[in-house]
Amino acid sequence: AASVLISGVAGAIVVDRLKQQSTARGANRAAVAVTALVLRGKRRVEAGAEPQRAPKNVQIAMIGRITPWKGQDLLLRALAQMEAEPRVRFVGGAHFDGDDAYLAELEELARRLGIAERVTFTGHVTDPLAEAADADIVVHYSRLTEPFGQVVAEAMAAGRVVVAAGAGGPTELIDDGKTGVLVPPRRPDLLAIALDTLIDDWEQREQLSAAARDRGRDLDLKTSAAIADSLLARVARDVR
């Protein structure tokens, strides 16, 4: 199951809808598991975000399955063009056919670009939200337009500065320059500039972090419903 951040009214919506569908013993178990994830995420949001690190110590995370359309190679190419030298963690596994080959390509690309010593591929982790919360900046830079950026919502709620492709779901969540940063898709050169600017401006990162956390805690009902529907779909698959 994925870790999900939903607070307040949204959390209640998910729990109530799960209870309505939990008529079988297996569904009850699934509902309990998903509800626990919701409440765990809520507690993390309320606990507060860690302060942003100094420019020379900034850490970046990219959360998502290792697959070409997620754009991990675009971030690698951006890193090679940056003045700053942050450490970057690519959090996610290679789960399907072709993903292992893509991971090998990414590792080779990092070596060829001379940045391999600053890059870590974690593989699958059980709690990707913990990885996001430990970063200063979370990059979400998919090649393809995503209808809803769940990683973006979770990272914002954790008080992280999110840099995302300016298309699809992230544009509904991020107010560019106020609650995060949007960069034109498939432009690693512009992504490099955006990241360098953020890393150098410690004060701006702190402001964006606070604003992102406020935004993440107050997800609108449309967004909350989308997360709830996703959770319910997973529950339905698990109990069939």
Q: What is the pLDDT of residue 8?
A: 42
Cβ within 8 Å of residue 191, ≥6 positions away: 74, 75, 78, 139, 141, 163, 183
pTM, rounded to two decimals: 0.76
Q: What is the pLDDT, as a whole number, of residue 198? A: 98
Give pLDDT, residue 71. 97
Q: Over 198-231, what HEC string results? A: HHHCHHHHHHHHHHHHHHHHCCCHHHHHHHHHHH
Nearby residues of 112 by Cβ (< 8 Å), 6 or more positions away: none
Measured from the Cβ of residue 230, the count of other Cβ atoms closer than 10 Å reads: 15
Q: Are 37 and 1 in contact (CB under 8 A)?
A: yes
Give counts: helices (H), strands (E), the chain.
Answer: 10, 6
pLDDT tens digits for 24-76? 444 454 444 444 444 444 444 445 678 999 999 999 999 999 999 999 999 99
Tokens describing residue 240: 């069939």
Residue-level pLDDT at 120: 98
Q: Tell me, what's the pLDDT at 97?
A: 87
What does the alpha-carbon distance between residue 100 and residue 94 come to, in Å, rounded to a whole number? Answer: 6
Answer positive or negative: Cα dihedral of 77, 4, 216, 185.
positive
The CA distances from residue 2 to 127, 141, 151, 212, in Å, are 8, 20, 10, 21
Per-residue pLDDT of the chain (240 residues; tens, 9 = 90+): 333 444 443 444 444 444 455 444 444 544 444 444 444 444 444 456 789 999 999 999 999 999 999 999 999 999 999 999 999 999 999 989 889 999 999 999 999 999 999 999 999 999 998 999 999 999 999 999 988 788 999 899 999 999 999 999 899 899 999 999 999 999 999 999 999 999 999 999 999 999 999 998 776 455 556 655 665 666 566 555
117 vs 204: CA distance, rounded Å: 28
Q: Under a CB-based contact definition with an 8 Å cutoff, are residues 212 and 160 in contact?
A: yes
